[in-house]
Structure 1
């Protein structure tokens, strides 16, 4: 169904034809994005800067568009295994360069300077790890700044002095948008800059912008948008950058059913970023209240598992049989394998895939943490014979 706002109908259609097709995968490395970076940098509208390098020497690049007084800074992949928004920001720049979206004023580049750092942790990206090559979680390095990548980010903030900052991440697949909600395909946060969680003008603007972005995305995700807890974290860059007076917005890309490479979240990141940019320039975000922000459901951890088998009978032939729910999650180290996550009453959780085990049996006592491929294969075989 088309979006009620014609601008987003057009933008979504353009995304499908103009996105970078080779970036349609779950894990991106610097080698993956370098051709897109080079192609974008060749456009005379866009300024390209190598701002430094990673611990292992890979370039860290910034792409800039516009020359206006309002500064917007977006960065991605400070966690190396969180690639979704990296593809999204490169798509977004491509769309902005190819054709001006209809929701932006003709002179928007005279009003805004947009800076994008598409991959802040290329070493972690190459290794497929959250941490940098030093083994440090960069997003817990805002105080000590022991990583060259973290120091670069802080230098950019101090030099550019952004009015609005987009901190773009991926979250694990198991978050739910509220108790019993859909998978949280997108989650937002306007981070606190002090333990008392005070809301100054900049943080109010961040919350209003989020409320607007949520409203735009709700067409595609009526029950799939969550809101993170805003407990202050002094070691985290989002909180530290909020403390500089920037309206700081965390966007976390999450799971969507039947979308293992997170292309739904990729597309919706583009829509959210465009909605935020347009709202800044039009002032429409001011129509939203704090109540609109807090109406976004909590981002509930462990609301989902990969596969939930309900009412499976366990009967090892030696002990009394019993009926339980069995929950399986993918082995993070071997994506083709599943581990036994939970046995018992799974009320309050949902499966990204739901399987009815009623009338089915498993002839072994389950062991938590064990590889469950044979259990799953046995259940599927029984189902196929019905």
Structure 2
């Protein structure tokens, strides 16, 4: 019996320590390898020559490929992989079920060049996830070659999503979201998508026991250049994982935990089931886009005797600083006006405080935010404690 609530309680026993920051670059991956005895296989090199590795576990006939950091700035799946690998080492009944039925290949960092500078794209600016048809990125060839020779029954494609997403019409953040990608414009459902939907339904059933109301579903609009849609078209059930926001968790460690539990849930389902029911897949609420990181209410904008009262919507963006070789979280204004349709992860009342932008009283979109409300100080885009 798979008990996700018990697994959550035991999470600290298999959590990989030392990887608490959201930014995970290639040196971080090598640091992880230095702590493990896990055998790794180099399956190619990135555009800039960084080796890309595969880790393998299990002896089962069903084969699964799981890859992460196809987008270099999306590390929650990679760090969750580390936890899952530690879980395998505990030799529990769940682990035995999984590893006896499955052979699992992990590619923890498909885009090391992008990871090094915390960007979605690869070293020459290609979004690998939109390069399936043109095949101009070095890294898409590595992924395709692995899929073609791996004889996989299922694929797990791990991504991160922005903090803007909510679940359905609720004010719950989409901590995890899933998608069974379409294979045509009509969004038809064939046996491949049925299996994908069934795996997601099984994962969602488990997750509702630990993060109720915080699981969303992406629209199944067909993207003709994306990997998930094309793998589905080729006959591979491809589960898209999107790791999102958990309250007060900007380094995504709580999200990472539930991502690890979701991966284990999905693996257990594939290992122990040959038939999947998908009748409740469409009942998973579709993602909305209602969240902003900060909403600053009742800001006064003045010009002489004229004034307006507005709300400012602020979004945190992670920017790589090549001088310090660090990633800095910068707050930018992305919405101005009446923001009642939005929800803030943090909402503050400015009480008619005049917002003074640099060299102007007027806030502008994409302007780096500076304000002080109560104990909250946000100076030049950074929160000051």
Q: TM-score range by the shorter chain?
A: 0.7 to 0.9
**Equivalent residues of 2:302, 2:308 under 8 A apart:** no
Change over 3 Å in CA distance of 1:370–1:194 after alignment to 2: closer
**Equivalent residues of 1:211, 1:293 under 8 A apart:** yes
Q: CA deviation at 1:235?
A: 1.1
Change over 3 Å in CA distance of 1:321–1:190 after alignment to 2: same
Alignment of 1:330-369 (within 5 A): 330-333=316-319, 335=328, 337-357=330-350, 359-362=351-354, 365-369=361-365
**Equivalent residues of 1:20, 1:36 under 8 A apart:** no
| C-alpha distance in structure 1 between counterparts of 2:97 and 2:175, whole Å | 33
Partner of 1:289: 278
Partner of 1:299: 287
Alignment of 1:226-245 (within 5 A): 226-245=216-235
**Equivalent residues of 2:355, 2:362 under 8 A apart:** no
Structure 1 alignment gaps of length 5 or more? none
Shifted more, 147-156 versus 9-18: the winner is 9-18
**Equivalent residues of 2:318, 2:329 under 8 A apart:** no
Q: Which protein has the bigger helix share?
A: 1
3-state SS, counterpart of residue 72 of structure 1:
strand
Q: CA deviation at 1:295?
A: 1.1
Deviation digits for residues 109-165 of structure 1 (CA, Å, limit 9, x no counterpart): 332111111000001111111111121111111112111211010011111121110
Change over 3 Å in CA distance of 1:145–1:77 after alignment to 2: same
Change over 3 Å in CA distance of 1:381–1:318 after alignment to 2: farther
TM-score (ref. length: structure 2): 0.88
Of 141, 154, 159, the match for 1:151: 141
Of 5, 8, 26, the match for 2:22: 26
Q: CA deviation at 1:37?
A: 2.8
TM-score (ref. length: structure 1): 0.88
**Equivalent residues of 1:308, 1:354 under 8 A apart:** yes
Partner of 2:164: 174
Change over 3 Å in CA distance of 1:279–1:6 after alignment to 2: closer
Deviation digits for residues 335-364 of structure 1 (CA, Å, limit 9, x no counterpart): 45432222222122110101134x432165
Of 55, 60, 67, the match for 1:68: 60
Change over 3 Å in CA distance of 1:275–1:108 after alignment to 2: closer
Q: CA deviation at 1:65?
A: 0.9
Q: Number of residues paired by the alignment?
A: 366
Change over 3 Å in CA distance of 1:361–1:285 after alignment to 2: farther
3-state SS, counterpart of residue 98 of structure 1:
coil
Q: Are 2:214 and 1:224 aligned? A: yes
Partner of 1:377: 372
3-state SS, counterpart of residue 120 of structure 2:
coil
Partner of 2:84: 92
Q: Are 2:189 and 1:203 aligned? A: no
Q: CA deviation at 1:371?
A: 3.8
Shifted more, 142-151 versus 108-117: the winner is 108-117
3-state SS, counterpart of residue 178 of structure 2:
strand
**Equivalent residues of 1:179, 1:348 under 8 A apart:** no
Q: CA deviation at 1:59?
A: 1.0
**Equivalent residues of 1:337, 1:371 under 8 A apart:** no
3-state SS, counterpart of residue 243 of structure 1:
helix
**Equivalent residues of 2:5, 2:209 under 8 A apart:** no
Partner of 1:329: 315
CA RMSD of aligned residues (A): 2.3
Q: CA deviation at 1:10?
A: 3.6
**Equivalent residues of 2:178, 2:200 under 8 A apart:** yes
3-state SS, counterpart of residue 316 of structure 1:
strand
